[in-house]
Structure 1
Amino acid sequence: MSTVPNAVPNCGAWNADEICRFITSERLASYFTDTDGSVRQALHLYEWNMRASASVLELTSMVEVIVRNSLDASLIAWASTHHPGASWFDAAPLDAHAQSDIAKARRRATRHGRRPEVHGSVISELTLGFWRFLVESRYLTRLWVPASHTAFPHGAKDLRTRQEEVALRMKQLTTVRNRAAHHEPIHRRDLGRDLRAAIDLASWVSPDVGAWVASKNSLRTRIEGKPQP
């Protein structure tokens, strides 16, 4: 059983100016601008930004797993039909950057060849950015029309429109996830729009999945609790 160290400082006793000194005024600049200019109010908004960032990471992790598994299933089905016996990692007409991403993921998943390759382990090593670019227009005729569009069966009926809408939301989600992951300000973003983008993606994979994401994420609560200037 863990114990609380005797040297824990009084949790209610802290100096706002001292906290600001270590966060730095540069990082807090937008928080000062968007509040009354006091250190305490800037910190209050900064603390909200941290909690909102955690909710963004929670949300994007939910949707990333859903989207990548749906795309993976679509590409497996495509490869089994058009390239029997081959992994889509090898068969898909990917550009050099994507091929490099897959090679790196395979090395990480196999510990540089010291372990047998497990397909699911490679998938988990591919970044959200990889999947984002996989649905871009560069792959419209090579992958989207013959394969990838089936990952989003509940999207727009027109396949070009579906591709554009999926790509837009994947780009949006990647952007906000990266900002949250790097402790950047997101308090000026339309996080409600980001939330809708995430739910759209999940719903286009499956309405049930979309309903699950909508009901289980904490970002909506964070948005509602944002400090007012």
Structure 2
Amino acid sequence: MNTGEWPTWAERSLSGARLQTYATAAGGRSAAIRLYWWNIEVSAAFYGPLHCLEVALRNALHGALMHRFGRPDWWSIAPLDADGARLVSDAQTKCGRRINHRPATADDVVAELSFGFWVKLLSRRYDRTFWVPALHRAFPRGSGRRDDLHRQFTTMMLLRNRISHHEPIHHRRLEADHATLFRLLDLLNADLSAEARQLDRVPTVLKQRQDTCAGLRTPQF
């Protein structure tokens, strides 16, 4: 039912309650809808660099742990905690359901494991078992303090999750998020980071926020 506060299409499909948070941030209903579109635009722009970061992290950590334990399914003998072991088991089950013509490979399981799984491997819980003997080597340009690295990757994971669940990110310090993302990508693979920067449109979209919300440009997904 249209309350009269929003166009019928917006009330019905986007939800007036959801749009009200944008109205508060933008200072009005018309600007709220434009901010909503810009939020999608900037979320889409972040998707590519975040994709590179997540895939680079999981492959780097997988490579280091595979070398440490001497087998591609290192999780079979590594001292994962109960939650980590559960996530691996869930990933194996999902692979088994999706791939019914052959056994799931280690690469299948690696691709199925969540960003959160890989970020947790950098936590204090695994400092002596994974970080000290193996995972610090996943960052060829140096990593700094493990706890700082874990904190920064956690920030990126939360940003990625908000984008994946279509949540607002316009209120975040997105310039700082962008800088953190590429700083981490530089640590993992400087060549990939340089390539991603050539394709990155986040800085351009950030600069266009004011004009978009003022109605001076039309955002693009």
Is the CA contact 2:72–2:106 (under 8 Å) kept in the aligned structure 1?
Answer: no
The answer as to 2:64 corresponding to 1:78 is no
CA distance in 2, matches of 1:117, 1:174: 26
RMSD: 1.9
> Which amino acid in the other structure matches residue 78 of structure 2?
A
- Deviation per CA, 1:136-166: give whole Å up to 9, x if none: 111111110111111112124x5xx1x1232
* Length-normalised TM-score, structure 2: 0.85
The answer as to 2:128 corresponding to 1:141 is yes
For 2:114, the equivalent position in structure 1 comes to 127
Is the CA contact 1:137–1:164 (under 8 Å) kept in the aligned structure 2?
Answer: yes
CA distance in 2, matches of 1:113, 1:196: 38
CA distance in 1, matches of 2:191, 2:53: 13
> Which amino acid in the other structure matches residue 196 of structure 1?
A
Consecutive unaligned residues in structure 1, runs of 5 or more: 1-15
1:151 to 130, 135, 138: 138
CA distance in 1, matches of 2:110, 2:196: 21
> Which amino acid in the other structure matches residue 156 of structure 2?
L
CA shift, 1:132, in A, is 1.1
For 1:91, the equivalent position in structure 2 comes to 77
> Which amino acid in the other structure matches residue 144 of structure 1?
W
1:53 to 25, 43, 46: 43
CA distance in 1, matches of 2:27, 2:82: 50
Following TM superposition, the consecutive aligned residue runs of length 4 or more in structure 1 with deviations greater than 6 angstroms are none
- Deviation per CA, 1:117-150: give whole Å up to 9, x if none: 2111111000001111111111111110111111
> Which amino acid in the other structure matches residue 68 of structure 1?
R
The answer as to 2:99 corresponding to 1:109 is no
CA shift, 1:215, in A, is 2.5
Specify whether residues 112 and 17 from structure 1 end up closer, same or farther in structure 2 by C-alpha distance, changes over 3 A only. closer
For 2:184, the equivalent position in structure 1 comes to 201
CA shift, 1:71, in A, is 0.7
Give the SS at the match of 1:153. Answer: coil
CA shift, 1:86, in A, is 7.2
Is the CA contact 1:107–1:113 (under 8 Å) kept in the aligned structure 2?
Answer: no
For 2:24, the equivalent position in structure 1 comes to 33
Counting aligned pairs with the same residue, the percent is 30
Give the SS at the match of 2:161. Answer: helix
> Which segment is superposed worse, 19-28 or 174-183?
19-28
Is the CA contact 1:129–1:174 (under 8 Å) kept in the aligned structure 2?
Answer: yes
CA distance in 2, matches of 1:77, 1:50: 40
1:185 to 145, 165, 168: 168
For 1:8, the equivalent position in structure 2 comes to none
Give the SS at the match of 1:111. Answer: helix
Give the SS at the match of 1:132. Answer: helix
Specify whether residues 86 and 205 from structure 1 end up closer, same or farther in structure 2 by C-alpha distance, changes over 3 A only. closer
Equivalences, count: 205
